Each structure stands twice: as structure tokens, then as C-alpha cells.
Structure 1
Amino acid sequence: MLSTDSTATAADQPRGMTVDFVVEKLRQGIMEGRFVPGQRLIARDLTDDIGISRGPLREAFRRLAAEGLVDLIPNRGATIRRLSRKQIRDLFRIRETLEGLAARLAAERIDEADHRRLFTEVWEQVRPTGRELPWRVFIERNRLYHRTIVAIGGNDQLMDLIQQLQLPLVMLQIGQAMPMENAEFSHQDHIHVAEAILAGDPDRAEAAMRTHLRRSHDWIVTLPDSAFRPD
């Protein structure tokens, strides 16, 4: 479950701040994989762990549901959102278009401000080394790489649209089913995208990103039904 800070808990804060505190705690737990898609959130355990009453927790659940991170199910409470095969396929088709544009913008702006330095530093952290990575490490590095490309592109509306897709949650759901050969394909695709961005070639960057995400989409359709919520 979640651990609380020794110096401050939600109970130490006014109600409005308490709800914000709980939302952030749960959101962080979801994004870091401490909760998994389809897992039921047990109110009694969470109130004990975080040190809050049921009221702020219910409000936190409602906010997370509005963000698309949890589903509120009558008579069952809150569960971490788990998507169907069709929902994930649809998201990746959208992602291909949005992140293709993000890669184009990043290549166009790579020599503005300190973008080249920033991208190079991130690329040195996430570039493939030939070693097999735990899947959560792979997903976190993948997330950092894609977020950096979107940030360098400088289009705030595009960033908001991509964030609404809740892609880290999607990757947590399908990540455990990813064979290592697919991770290697992803690494090679990342190299092609990075080379195009660093070369300042918008056409090649967009094409490489689209190819990368189309490959991911094609892999997803081969997963067994157990990887998805029933349609």
C-alpha cells in the first residue's frame, strides 16, 4: 500500500488540501505501478494507510475518475482503470498522429533555447545499452523519452491532449505482456526518432515516430484477451 510521510499526513491539513494530498498520493501510486490496472482500491486500507476519513477519500476517487485513472463501479467502489482491446487500439491510433506532430515540432525547435542540451541529456539516460531492463524501468524510461519530445515541441495544447490519453496507465497495463524482442524493436525505433530530431529533420522525425507507434499498435493486436478488459 502507500506509506505516509513521518512529518506530515493528510489529517494535518484542511479538508480541501486533504483531498489534494490524497489525489496526489493515489495518482503517484498509480503512475509508479504500486497499483495495477483492474485493482480494486479498498477504502478501509487506504484510510488507515494515509490517515484520513472516508469523505476526502471519496472525493479523491471522484477526481481520479474524472481524470480517467480510476473507474467508479456501483457497489464495488473504485478500481484502477483497465482498458479494452479496442480502447487501447484506438488510443494508439490517436497517439500516432499526436506524437508524430510532437516529433516534427521537436525537430523544428531542436536548436532553439537549450533544447539540444536537454534532449541530449535525456537521450543519454534512456538510450539502449543492450542490457535487458525490468519492465517498469523500461516503461519509465519510455515515458521520459516521449514526454521530453513533446515538451521540446513547445505546443501546450498538444501536450494537454497527449496527457489526457493517460498513456502511462496504458503502458502499465500492457507492459507486462511485452516480449523482449518488442522492447528491442522499441529501442531501435527510439534511435531513429532521436537521430532525426538531432539532425533537425522534421519530415524524418515525424515519419520515424509514426512508424514506431504503428509498430506498437500492430504488436498490441496480437496480445491475448487476458491483457485487456472485456469489451
Structure 2
Amino acid sequence: MPGQRLISRDLVEELGISRGPLREAFRRLAAEGLVDLIPNRGAVVRRLSVDEIAHIYQIREALEGFAARRAAELIDEGDNRARFTEVLERGRRHFTQPDFQAFVVDNRQFHRIIVDMCGNPQLSELIDKYQLPVFMIQLRQRIGVDEIVRNSLAEHEAIASGILAGDPDAAAAAMRRHLWHSADELVKLPALKRPE
């Protein structure tokens, strides 16, 4: 949870690892911007500010808009259409059975398959870097989310429509709209609210 202190002693015991690998994991998480390392206190799960979220989504808009464009251009290459349709269908179950925790995982898979269809490992690596902090915030949410799920699924349908039609402009525009709507919703989530 953002702001939560990660207690080394507890994690060593819980995960059954020594302190060395745990320190290395903390350093990596800090390098990714997911935790802050505080001298004599350890690691604390980082809170993202509204400005940081806006900056992340500006980057995601450029990268994932490009990915959606490329996915539409490459939809009929190899098994792209079948793989994309499979992930899309899996996500559609949330229209009738909204389960936010499962949706967050399926949502990540939806965005992941679009990037994978591009066949560009560097693009994939960059997008992962900017999706992960948002994914971690979303994964912790449990309340007031049915509408978020439904809106997101409708936006996924618009993105999918552009990709499956092989229309790069429509796919990219739908992805950009989806990301900015997601950013607006994300800043309203309880995980971003500081205690009064």
C-alpha cells in the first residue's frame, strides 16, 4: 500500500530469503520508483503525486498510442488476431461479473498483448516501466470500482474495434482516450489520498 513501510525482518521470515537478496530487491524497486529507501528506516512503498501520475500517463499515451497503431497494422500477422481476441474475450467476462482484482490482471494482459503484437522488446520494456507503478496502485483497490471496470471495458472495446479493423488511427485515438480517462479515474482512488 502506498506509504507502507516494508519491514525487512518480516519479509525475510515470510519469504524465506536472506537479507542480501532482499536488500537487492529493495534497490531494484527503488530504481523503478516503486519504493523510497530511507536511511535507518528501510523501504517505504512510494506514493505517487497527481503530477507524477500525469507525467506517467503522458509517456504512456505516446508509447501505448504507438503500440495500438502498430497492433492495428500487424493484426493479421501470424497468430496476432487469435491471441488478441482470446485476451479480449477473457476481459469481457467482467461486463457481467465485475471483480476488480481479477479485472486489474486482465486489464494488464489486454495492454500487454497490444504491445506484444508490435514485436518490439524495447517498447515492451519501456511500457512495463511506466505501467507497473499504476498497476500496483490499482491492484490495492477494493471499493467503488464497478463503474471503473465497465467504463474501462467499453474503452477496451473501442481500442479493439480499431485494431481488429486494421485501422491504426482509430486504435491509437481510442487508446489515448482510454489512458486519459484512466488517469482521471486513478487520481480519485483512495490509495492516492493522503490521510488527513
Among all aligned residue pairs of Structure 1 and Structure 2, give the percentage whose two residues are the same amino acid.
53
Structure 1: where are the runs of 5+ without partners?
Answer: 1-35
Q: Distance in 2 between matches of 1:99 and 1:169?
A: 16
Structure 1 segments (4+ residues) deviating >6 Å:
none
Task: Give 1:178 deviation, angstroms.
Answer: 5.4
Aligned residue runs from structure 1 range 155-166, under 5 A = 155-165=120-130
- 2:67 aligns with 102
Instruction: Note if 1:169 corresponds to 2:133.
Output: yes
Instruction: Note if 1:207 corresponds to 2:173.
Output: yes
> Bigger relative contact order, structure 1 or 2, given CA contacts below 8 A and separation 6+?
2
Q: Against the structure 1 CA distance between its residues 190 and 77, is the aligned structure 2 distance closer, same or farther, given a 3 Å change threshold?
A: same
Task: Give 1:102 deviation, angstroms.
Answer: 0.5
Aligned residues: 193
- 2:8 aligns with 43
When structure 1 is superposed on structure 2, of 192-201 and 78-87 the one drifting more is 78-87
When structure 1 is superposed on structure 2, of 120-129 and 191-200 the one drifting more is 120-129
SS at match of 1:79: strand
- 2:149 aligns with 183
Post-superposition Cα deviations, 1:24-69, rounded to whole Å, max 9, x if no partner, equal xxxxxxxxxxxx3332211111222233332332222112222333
Q: Against the structure 1 CA distance between its residues 45 and 88, is the aligned structure 2 distance closer, same or farther, given a 3 Å change threshold?
A: same
SS at match of 1:72: strand
Q: Amino acid of the residue matched to residue 210 of structure 1?
A: R
Task: Give 1:224 deviation, angstroms.
Answer: 6.9
- Bigger CA radius of gyration: 1
Q: Distance in 1 between matches of 2:159 and 2:96?
A: 20
Q: Distance in 2 between matches of 1:49 and 1:206?
A: 43
- 1:147 aligns with 112
Q: Distance in 1 between matches of 2:61 and 2:40?
A: 37
Q: Amino acid of the residue matched to residue 167 of structure 2?
A: D
Q: Distance in 2 between matches of 1:60 and 1:227?
A: 24
Task: Give 1:228 deviation, angstroms.
Answer: 4.4
Aligned residue runs from structure 1 range 81-160, under 5 A = 81-160=46-125
